[in-house]
A and B are shown apart, each in its own frame.
Chain A
Amino acid sequence: MQPNLNFLVVDDFSTMRRIIKNLLHDLGYANVTEADDGKTALPLLKDGNFDFLITDWNMPGMPGLELLKQVRADARLAKLPVLMLTAEAKREQIVEAAQAGVSGYVIKPFTAATLKEKIDKILAARAAA
């Protein structure tokens, strides 16, 4: 558990951002920043010092998959853990996200336990690498 990690939560619905932010707070992560799509998230990621990205897929402007690809294409951000938290549940989409380098994939509706499990797993894998 590293409470000082900086999270960026990207979702076009403010309610969902708030739910995720609350769950992260409950998990002990207090540093959470929000963005409402990939276009606003990318400059934040490039300028900021984020340790973890949680993003939706279906968003106006830049969708989550494109954001993931841009993150992986950026040398400084390439290793950033990216958790896709989305209602997109088609097999080919999950495969595409995996091929684009997603670190974890959680489908909505989700539980607090699932979110915790995936974050822990991604952070453990990162620590082991």
Chain B
Amino acid sequence: MTTPAQEFDLYAPWVTAMSRALDDGDGDGFRTALAAFDQSRNAEVTQQVRRIAIDLHGALERFRIESKLIDLAQHQVPDARHRLAHVLRLTDDAAHRTMDLVERCCPLADQLAEQAEQLILAYDAEGSAPTLKPQLLAFLKQAGTSMAAVRSNLAEVLLAQGYQDLSGQIIRSVMTLVAELEEALGELVRIAGPVGAATGCSAEAGVARGHGPAVPGINHGHAVSGQQDVDALLSDLGM
């Protein structure tokens, strides 16, 4: 927008020229000054219209991104949080279910192993004496029942792994949302222009609280590659 002082500087020469031409009765000179005056006015208006158009475009783009961000923040991010909480429940349930089944199998295996050991001891002591037959039959019967139970538990362990499909689908949808959020925030940063140094969370806090499991491709500093590395490092430290 032009200030009154700038307008004075801009138009005064043409108005003076027109006034002089009028005083001199110079019709051609007056028309020339008037045309030049008109042209400078039009150029000023065109520039202002262009500026308004740019502002409007920027405002519309900001509005589009802000609406997208508002939708993401108000609906999709809370949804994603609930979905991830559900993934946590699914994985927790599946792990406990699997451990329940394993814990049911272990005593059956222990029991059979113990009975087999007793039978071997008895066999060593008595040879193939007929007195061993009932014990042997009982063991075989027990083995049949126990193995059927183990087999059924193992089938359920297999089914319990179905959580991976469900949780995988949910995690994939959350990954899409994070990508959208990243894009919208990136556009917002681009429109806002440079905003100074970014403030991240301090590395100090990360060390005290922990970074969580190492994830391939994400680096938080030098990580050991396995238990052997840990042992070597502790040994270097005199432990």
A residues adjacent to B (C-beta < 8 A): 13-15, 18-19, 22, 57-59, 63-66, 86-96, 98, 105-108, 110, 114
B207 surroundings in chain A (CB, below 8 A): 90, 92-93, 96
- Residue on B nearest A58 in the bound complex, by CB: B210
- Residue on A nearest B237 in the bound complex, by CB: A98
**A94-B226 in contact (CB<8A):** no
Given contacts A58-B212, A92-B221, are A15 and B92 in contact (CB under 8 A)? yes
A22 surroundings in chain B (CB, below 8 A): 99, 103
User: In angstroms, how far is the closest chain A Cβ from the Cβ of B12?
Assistant: 71
A114 surroundings in chain B (CB, below 8 A): 227
Given contacts A18-B96, A90-B220, A91-B233, are A98 and B239 in contact (CB under 8 A)? yes
A-contact bits for B196-239, CB 8 A (1 contact / 0 none): 00000000000111111110000011111011001001100101
**A94-B95 in contact (CB<8A):** no
B234 surroundings in chain A (CB, below 8 A): 94, 98, 105
Q: Kindly state the separation between the CA atoms of A59 and B209 in the bound complex, as whole angstroms.
A: 7
Q: Kindly state the separation between the CA atoms of A74 and B140 in the bound complex, as whole angstroms.
A: 57
Q: Kindly state the separation between the CA atoms of A58 and B210 in the bound complex, as whole angstroms.
A: 5
**A15-B96 in contact (CB<8A):** yes
B92 surroundings in chain A (CB, below 8 A): 13-15
User: In angstroms, how far is the closest chain A Cβ from the Cβ of B91?
Assistant: 8
User: In angstroms, how far is the closest chain B Cβ from the Cβ of A104?
Assistant: 8
What are 28 A-B contacts defined by CB distance under 8 Å? A13-B92, A15-B95, A15-B96, A18-B99, A58-B209, A58-B210, A58-B212, A86-B210, A87-B213, A88-B210, A88-B211, A89-B224, A89-B230, A90-B220, A90-B221, A91-B222, A92-B207, A93-B207, A93-B211, A94-B224, A94-B230, A94-B233, A94-B234, A96-B207, A98-B239, A107-B226, A107-B230, A110-B227
Given contacts A22-B99, A98-B237, A105-B234, are A65 and B226 in contact (CB under 8 A)? no
